[in-house]
Chains A and B, each alone.
Chain A
């Protein structure tokens, strides 16, 4: 058997018989994205920028705005911290454990993705609010907001970590054990580094989601300024009070946070893809061809 690997292929383009198709498709995509997403965002940015720095600064430094932004960032950070632990634990149980109804639980994780946020808030209010009957009442409290954010951000870390955990080569953990590492050490030094990019990706997405959340917090928080008013609700309030400039200014702050998060996730995804491609290459070399169908020849 020759030891030489297959010819390395630099990026190449297959000959395409219809050159018109890519042009049409590309043009339509750019046009659509611009009209739907880019144009409105540009208009918003331009409105704030053209309003001048003075007006921007006053809108952003007004105490209620500051309180809203600070509260949003603080609670989002808390929520994300809890998500990392709960999400990783959940992913671990879904991948490594086995019990009756596991598939049902796995499906359940996606519920916050499928459920409208207003309904999420309503359900939490129903059980953990004034007439919940459990004795717990988190309506109009920060705890209530945290609960709502935990609900809507639940799937993010779970779903990003789950596939990576599933693909993790158990042999690495076995090797660590054979070298004397205990369960916790193995987890800390072998598993966590492998799932770290996925975790970060999930954290970033969860954070962005929490910062911008509106539907689930608007009912449960009661939107008390300086107490439970989140940035998105503050913006909404400013608009209703006929202060679109103030709303736009704070929106720009959120927009910047979103963009930064987006770039972080994109960078992480590129790193994960590169890592996956390397693993895939190694796996392809090792793998024997698919086992033959029963009764078949070669």
Chain B
């Protein structure tokens, strides 16, 4: 499994704009996060996968908060732990609000591990128009920022900011959806 130095090298390349390294970082982070959340949410693998996805978006949108002079694992797990606490707090609120309680256990062992319950493409629809369009063009239809800019008439920095804000909002929506 990925060690600190390896993961850190990928992260730093990703921060410098290396797309393949960033993808490799997120892929390896996903495996580590899956183990982390499954260990802590036994009997709820869907919740664990939801949290993996939510945390990946957090790692991506908050990547500028990583300072290379500190260990990467500490940074990554601090974010994972924070997402987990946030999740548990929401869940507690929910169980207080509802009279029915929550069904625990009975998770399907055949459950597809890497498939979360929430559908990001549905959540995208809830974003403000500008953010949604920017994410759709660049992140889903693989257009460059420049192409997206000329298609929408927005400036390139406007596109980038819209994507960034949109992804941050998306992470919040993912967290809220788990709680309802």
Chains A and B come from one and the same complex? no
What is the interface of chain B, defined by CB distance below 8 A to chain A? none
